[in-house]
Structure formats: structure tokens, C-alpha cells
Amino acid sequence: MSGPSTNGSWISAWWVGLVLPVAIGILWELAVAGGYANGRLVPPPTKIFEVLSELAASGELWRHIAVTSWRVAAGFLLGTLAATLIGALAGYSTLTRQLLDPSLQGLRAVPSIAWVPLFILWLGIFEASKVTLIAVGVFFPIYLGVLGAILAVDRKIVEVGRMFRLSSIDLVRRVLLPAILPAYVLALRGGLGLGWMFVVAAEFMGASEGLGYLLVDGQQVGKPAQIVAAILVFAVLGKLSDSLLARVTAPFLRWQDTQTNAN
């Protein structure tokens, strides 16, 4: 019974979420068509979908989407692995935290674009530098999420586990992991969102493929409809990937007695 109901509510939420952007698009289309607004710099939806249709028909759109999605996926995987490992070590060991955390907090404040010239010098202008830049963007929110979640674990829960003579592995598996999982999932979603943001900076590094390239190309040749179309595709891909991550991780959080689960 719960499965269909959950699926139905998820689909319903999608339709409700479309109301605002669709309404804004219709209003802008009417404003441009009625002469109340100039659609040259901010094209109406019909013009944007015309550009998307042309790119899709030529196959360019799918090629750019595939390249950008691969870069985000690779960077997200690398950043997640590094952030989870280092965040767990820093959270578990006071010495490791005192040694690493100040430097990482300083590096976290460095703007993404500042890494570009350094990564080009180190790794060249090809895929390695782009994926590394995305991994850096993904790393910090996940690291902070893991570290903060471990430090926030209730000491009484750990003491109860020790009272039952749980081994270190069982303590981590049965106590610490469930305790940090909600915050960890939230950090993953934040890291994924930053991955889509950092891929734009990454694709400014001499890329000839990808949605970031479409943005640059649209700016250079004066095609605002292409720029807005690329932004729209970024938004759709970001939302789809976030929803997919939320759906994949949802079964691991069903044990939570929250207001959302009660509904």
C-alpha cells in the first residue's frame, strides 16, 4: 500500500513544482508577444525551445549533455570518496581533525575560478583538470557534512553501544552510520548541486564540448536564446540528478520517525 502511495505523492509533487516555472514562462511569452517587453536579451520560451529543438535534431544537444553529465558524475564520485574518508577520519580522531581541518577550512574559501590556472598547469586543459575541479567543488560540503554529523552524534548512544559490548566495527555499523546517515545524504545532495555549478567553470577551460561550451559559444556569437537554453538544461539535469539521488537514498532513511514520513 505504501509503495503506490509514495510514488503517487512523488509524481504529484513534480506536477506542483512545475506550476511556478510554467506560469512564469507563459507570462513572459505573453508579455513579449504583446509588445510589453523586449525579448531580445531574455528570449521567450518559444524561441528557447526552438533553439533546443534545433540542437536536439542535429545531435549536438545530446552530445553536450552526455559530456557534461560524465564530467559531473566522475567529479562527484571522486569528491565523495575523498570527502567521506577524510571527513570520517577527522570526525573520529581529534588529532586528525586538529591537523587537517584548519587547512581545509582555509582552502574552502578559495573561489572555484582561482583553481583553474593551477589545474591547467598541473593537469593540462583536458578531462583530468575538469574532473578534478568538479571534485574539489563536491568535496567541501560533503566533508563538512560528514565531520559535523559525526561530531553531533549523541554520546549516550555510543555509550549504550559500548555497554552491549559492540566491537568497533559493529559500533560504527549499527550506531554511528545510522546516526550520521540523514546528514550525510543531505551533504551528498549539496555536493551534487555544487558539482553542477563547478562544471561550468571547468568547461571554461578550453572545452569544445559540454553545456558550458554552449554558454561560452552563445556569449561569443551573441545568441542569448542559446545561453538561456543551456541554463535551462542545466536546471533540468540538476533537478533530475538530485531527485534520483533522493530516491536512491530514501530506503535507507525509512527508519526515521519524521513528519514527512508520517505523511
Q: What is the pLDDT of residues 186-233, one digit of tens each?
A: 999 999 999 999 998 888 777 788 898 899 888 888 888 999 999 999
Most confident of 86-90, 205-209, 248-252: 86-90
The C-alpha cell at 164 is 552491549
- Ordered structural domains, the chain, with CATH: 65-207+244-257 (1.10.3720.10)
Give Dmax (Cα) for the chain: 75
Q: What is the DSSP letter of 175?
A: I
The reported pLDDT for the residue numbered 257 is 56
The reported pLDDT for the residue numbered 68 is 95
Q: What are phi and psi of 39, to 5 degrees?
A: -90, 20
Q: Span 140-153, mean pLDDT?
A: 91
Listed residue (95, 90, 71) closest to 197, CA to CA: 71
Confidence of residue 64 (pLDDT cuts 50, 70, 90): very high
Q: Average pLDDT of the chain?
A: 85
Listed residue (19, 9, 21) closest to 236, CA to CA: 21
CA–CA gap between residue 158 and residue 160 (Å, rounded): 5
Confidence of residue 166 (pLDDT cuts 50, 70, 90): confident
